Structures are given as C-alpha cells and as structure tokens.
Amino acid sequence: YAQCERVRLGLPEDVCLALLQWNSVLAVTYPARNLHKIKRGDSWDTVNEKSSSQCWAIHLPILRRRQELKGIPSYESVYNLTTEEQLECQKKERGVRQSQHQGKACLERYRLASMRIFEVVLESLQKYLGKDKFILERASIDEFYLDITQYCHDSSEEGGDETLSNVNAMKNTVIFGHRKDSIQRALEQACVVSGRIRDEVRDELGFTMSAGISTNKMMAKLAASHGKPNGQAMIHPHAFSSILATTKLSKVRNFGGKLGKEAERLIDRDNCDEIMMSELQQFSLLQLKQHFSSHDTAQFVFDICRGIDKEPVKETKGALVKSITAFKSFPATDCKQQIQSWLELLAGEIVLRVSQDTKRHGRHPKTCTMSYTYYTTPNGRRPQGTNSTRSQRQSRSIRLGYHPPESLVPQAMERLLPILKQHPLRGVGLSATNFESKCEVAIDHFFSQTGKRKATDPNPETMTAKALPCQTGTPQTIFVDQDLALAKKIQASYDREHNLW
C-alpha cells in the first residue's frame, strides 16, 4: 500500500513514507522503516517525532458519509498522473489527517494496482514461458506463488543461455547452499525467470518486487524475506537446516497464530519469541502426536520444521473473487441515524464494485448478506483496560433479498432495529456473494427481485434452511450456517488486516 502511494505521487524509490488509517500506520516503506524505525501501529505524532517530520505521512483514501459515488476509476486515471497533478496531490495530501467518523477506508486504489501488476506478471510469463508452462497461485493482494518446476528442469537440461553464467540475470540474487547438481541448475533458471518478471513490472509500472526461489512454498516464502525490499534470494535444499536454525518459529508460514502458540508450549522457555523453527526437530513424530492430539497436525509440524512442505501451488490465475465486501467499524453505538448513514455508504460502494465486476466478468451476485458485530460486555461498550477485545466480540449475519440501494438500506435497518435494543453495534458490513454468469445483465437486476417477496417471508435469523430457485429450476438449499461462516470470515479478515476497513 505504501508503494502504491509512492508510485501514484511520483516519489523516488528511497522515499520515507508512511500510510496511515485514522491514527495508526497501516503500511511503511523500507527506507522509513530502516532509517527512522517507523513501524505499523505508530501514530501520526510518533511518525513525526521519529523522523523529525521528514517522513511523508499520507492517509489512505476514504469514502465520506453522504458523499456522491460517481464510479470506480481506472488504473490510468489514478496512477498515470501528469507531473503537475502529482505535485498538486502531494501538496493537498501530505500530513492531512482524517478521523474515523468522517467515513470509511476505501481500498479500491490498491485493488487497481494489484490487478494491473498481476496483468503484467501474466503477460511476462506467457511471453517468456508460454501459456501452459506455469502454475500461478494468488495468495493475497500483493503476493503470489509460482510453480515453474518442469520448465526450469527442461530448460536447464537443454543447456540454454539463461543460466548462472548470465551475470545480469542473477543480479541482486542472494544464494544459500550452492551445489553443482540438477536442483541447483533448475533453481538458477527460476532466478532468471523471476528477475525478468520483476524487471518488467518495474519498467512498465514503477513497482519494485522481492522474490524467493526454492523447492517448496514455505522455503520460497522464507527466501523472499532475504530478498527484500527489491531483490531476490534462492535457497537450495542443502541450506534448509542452516536457514531454519536462524528463523524464528513465529515467522514461518502457518505458525504465526494458534498453531505457533501450541508449538511453543513444547519448548520450555520464558522468551518464546527466541524459539527457532529447527528446535522442533528434537521431538519425534510420536511425541508430536501426543502433544497435538492429531496425526495430521503432528505430521505437518514434523515435516515443516525440517523444511518439507508438501502443499502444492494451486492454479488461481483464472479465479475470480467469491464475494465483494464492504465493512465499517465504529465506536459502539445504538444510534439508528448513525448506523443508517453507514449502511447507505456501504450499499453505494457495494453497488459500484458489483457494477464494475459485472462489466469485467459478465456475472452478478444472487445474494447479499449483512453482517454486524457487537461487544458482549454488560453495557455493550468496548471493554476497558485491554488492547485485545477479540474474546468479547460477537459476529452475526442476516440474509437479505435483492434490492436497489434505496430499498436495501430500509430493509437492513428494519432487521437491525430489534437487535439495537439488545446490543449497541460496533460494526456493520454488506457482502455480495453467490455469483452467477449472465450476459448483458443490468446491475439493477441484482437488487430487483425482493419486491416480489411477500412480507410474510420467515425471519432469516430463525429459519434453518431455505430453497431458492436457480437457473435450471432445481431447488438450491442455502443454510444459515453459511451466513454465520461468512460473518466470521469478514470479521477475521478485518482483524487480520489491522482495521483495514
């Protein structure tokens, strides 16, 4: 996100820049991190104090309440600004603070950059490798895994000129565990491909990328950390032991949460933050089974601590998002007018994004789910004296019909009024899901069917299942459990992204 702002504003690669949401740093460039020790979670004042006001502080874009939404911009209109436009944006935006009551965070600017970068990556892969020579798995908005195993082995055996002898292709590559074998030659070939992709993205769009090259997903991700911020690293299996001996357990993929905490309890140490991944190798598979009470989990830990990751790279280059979600958190409130104004803003954003998705992919959603969260404290307010409130938050959801925005919000409020009498809310969200392909469909169709429903329809909160008609005429059963799972997913994503919405 910070790099998106650097590119958009036309700032140099070594600029110190922090991107904030409300009064908290959301993302920071590597120069700001290294020179001024600015980190995520720092406040505006902390950023200024640490950098003596030398660091650029930019607030991410927000959608304001009662703001007229005019459509989603293109990548070109956001990032291909003239020098005069960039200077004007710099002047208007640097150091300008925003408060949470003014609106909700809008991430569309960063989604546009992500989509464009992935387009260039795919174009580069198809140009140099061919359409069927790779498997690409998109892991997040700014991360992906790439499997080019067969291509690299075939190319290295053919003895082409794209090998380690090509010094330019291996520039900025940190190498761990050099060996003169077929694996080494294939990994070197992967470094050539990685370097070309990174160069094309940088030359065409101005974004820098880091890359990790190895023989499985976990070790490739660890390698990438040694290539940051604008380089790449390669780890040969011979070096796995030395790398894992200096890698903290909490830094390994899948070990940053509950599994990591459970694994830490195996090692009797006061400072768990200093536990290295290789230390788990001292436990036998039987001991791990006794500790985790699950054969699969024990086997997974047994393998991972030795650098063995059997999870394949899964093809996602043609996959589309399964939901379009907008969420807004706020201080707990039971004020009907305030919640309604947030719902109006969310509904407007959802309709715009659905409209854009329909134009791009020829599909539209069949369902819309409203989620809401609240505190379980006696007064329904944020617990005092604690930083984490996760254990005292609840998420619920309600299935709504298909309405235009002017009808969606009133029905949502009708469903929420009884809930507000019991719990002040701390967040609401809308999510368009269950997409179906349909050519030449107007976006209003997504919201047009509810008027046909009767007022006597059962309450979605109390029903266990409901049959909805689908295109083939076959009844489709949708369980409320799906709604609850969606609400939990939305909340988990919200927590994971540090109040991203």
Q: Which DSSP string corresponds to 247-285?
A: SBGGGSTT-SSHHHHHHHTTS--S-GGG-BGGGGGGS-H
Segment (H or E) for 328 = strand 323-333
**Mean pLDDT (whole number) for 363-377:** 83
Q: Which two tokens stand for residue 147?
A: 């499997």
* pLDDT for res 438: 63
pLDDT digits (tens, 9 = 90+) for 417-470: 888 888 888 899 988 888 887 644 444 444 444 334 333 343 333 333 333 333
CB 408 within 8 A of CB 334: no
**Which residue from 15, 103, 23 is spatially nearest to 61, judged by alpha carbons?**
103
pLDDT digits (tens, 9 = 90+) for 326-365: 999 888 888 888 898 898 888 888 888 888 888 888 888 8
Q: Can you tell me the distance from the alpha carbon of 349 to that of 441, in angstroms, rounded to the nearest whole number?
A: 19
pLDDT digits (tens, 9 = 90+) for 170-212: 767 899 988 888 899 899 899 999 999 999 999 999 999 999 9
- Residue 424 DSSP label: -
At 394, give phi and psi (nearest 5°).
-130, 145
CB 30 within 8 A of CB 228: yes
* pLDDT for res 384: 64
Residue scoring higher pLDDT (72 or 11)? 11
Looking at the predicted structure, is the pLDDT value of residue 316 above 90?
no
Give the pLDDT band (50/70/90) at residue 8: very high
Which amino acid makes up residue 207? Answer: F
Scanning 294-335, the segments in alpha helix (DSSP H) are 295-304
CB 88 within 8 A of CB 134: no
Give the pLDDT band (50/70/90) at residue 68: low
Scanning 329-368, the segments in alpha helix (DSSP H) are 336-361
- Judge if pTM exceeds 0.75: yes
Q: Can you tell me the distance from the alpha carbon of 187 to that of 169, in angstroms, rounded to the nearest whole number?
A: 12
Residue reference for tokens 């830490």: 264
301: left (phi over 0), alpha (psi -120 to 50) or beta: alpha
Triad 395, 463, 418: Cα angle to 5°: 55
Average pLDDT, whole number, for the chain? 80
Long-range Cβ contact pairs of 294-298 (< 8 A, separation 24 or more): 297/259
pLDDT digits (tens, 9 = 90+) for 73-99: 889 999 999 999 999 999 999 999 998
* pLDDT for res 420: 85
Give the pLDDT band (50/70/90) at residue 36: very high
* pLDDT for res 246: 93
Q: Can you tell me the distance from the alpha carbon of 346 to that of 156, in angstroms, rounded to the nearest whole number?
A: 52
* pLDDT for res 18: 96
Triad 70, 74, 77: Cα angle to 5°: 95
Query: If DSSP codes are grouped into helix, strand and coil, which group holds residue 140?
Result: strand
Query: If DSSP codes are grouped into helix, strand and coil, which group holds residue 441?
Result: coil
Looking at the predicted structure, is the pLDDT value of residue 138 above 70?
yes
